[in-house]
Amino acid sequence: MPSYTVTVATGSQWFAGTDDYIYLSLVGSAGCSEKHLLDKPFYNDFERGAVDSYDVTVDEELGEIQLVKIEKRKYWLHDDWFLKYITLKTPCGDYIEFPCYRWIAGEGEIVLRDGRAKLACDDQIHILKQHRRKELETRQKQYRWMEWNPGFPLSIDAKCHKDLPRDIQFDSEKGVDFVLNYSRAMENLFINRFMHMFQSSWSDFADFEKIFVKISNTISERVMNHWQEDLMFGYQFLNGCNPVLIRRCTKLPEKLPVTTEMVECSLERQLALEQEVEQGNIFIVDFELLDGIDANRTDPCTLQFLAAPVCLLYKNLANKIVPIAIQLNQVPGDENPIFLPSDAKYDWLLAKIWVRSSDFHVHQTITHLLRTHLVSEVFGIALYRQLPAVHPIFKVQQATTSAGGGVMACWFLRTRGLARFTAEVVGIYYQSDQVVEEDQELQDFVKDVYVYGMRGKKASGFPKSIKTREKLSEYLTVVIFTASAQHAAVNFGQYDWCSWIPNAPPTMRAPPPTAKGVVTIEQIVDTLPDRGRSCWHLGAVWALSQFQDNELFLGMYPEEHFIEKPVKEAMARFRKNLDTIVSVIAERNKNKKLPYYYLSPDRIPNSVAI
Distance of alpha carbon 57 from alpha carbon 62, whole angstroms: 11
Distance of alpha carbon 31 from alpha carbon 95, whole angstroms: 19
Helix segments in 363-391, DSSP class H: 375-386
Distance of alpha carbon 371 from alpha carbon 368, whole angstroms: 6
- Give, in order, the Cα–Cα distances in Å from 218 to each of 290, 450, 493, 591, 596: 32, 42, 11, 13, 12
Flag whether 131 is marked binding. Answer: no
Instruction: List 318's β-bridge partners, or say none.
Output: none
Torsion of CA 14, 15, 16, 21, to 10 degrees: 170
Flag whether 368 is marked binding. Answer: yes
Nearby residues of 242 by Cβ (< 8 Å), 6 or more positions away:
236, 359, 360, 362, 363, 367, 490
Flag whether 487 is marked binding. Answer: yes
Distance of alpha carbon 258 from alpha carbon 605, whole angstroms: 44
Distance of alpha carbon 166 from alpha carbon 164, whole angstroms: 6
Flag whether 39 is marked binding. Answer: yes
DSSP state of 508: B
Flag whether 80 is marked binding. Answer: yes
Q: Is there a contact between 371 and 245 (Cβ–Cβ < 8 Å)? A: no
**H/E element holding 248?**
strand 247-248
**H/E element holding 216?**
none
Flag whether 521 is marked binding. Answer: no
Helix segments in 170-229, DSSP class H: 172-188, 219-226
Question: At residue 27, what is the residue type?
Answer: V
Cα–chain center distance at 489: 9
Bridge-based pairing state of the strands 36-37 and 95-104? unpaired
Hey, how many other C-beta atoms are within 10 angstroms of the C-beta on 587? 8
Helix segments in 439-564, DSSP class H: 440-448, 469-481, 487-491, 494-498, 521-527, 531-544
Distance of alpha carbon 452 from alpha carbon 432, whole angstroms: 28
Flag whether 17 is marked binding. Answer: yes
Q: In what order do the strands lie in the sheet with 81-89?
A: 51-57, 3-10, 81-89, 95-104
Can you give the length of the chain in residues?
610
Instruction: List 97's β-bridge partners, or say none.
Output: 87
Residues annotated within the binding site are 17, 39, 79-80, 368, 373, 487, 610
Residues annotated within the binding site for Fe cation are 368, 373, 487, 610
Residues annotated within the binding site for Ca(2+) are 17, 39, 79-80
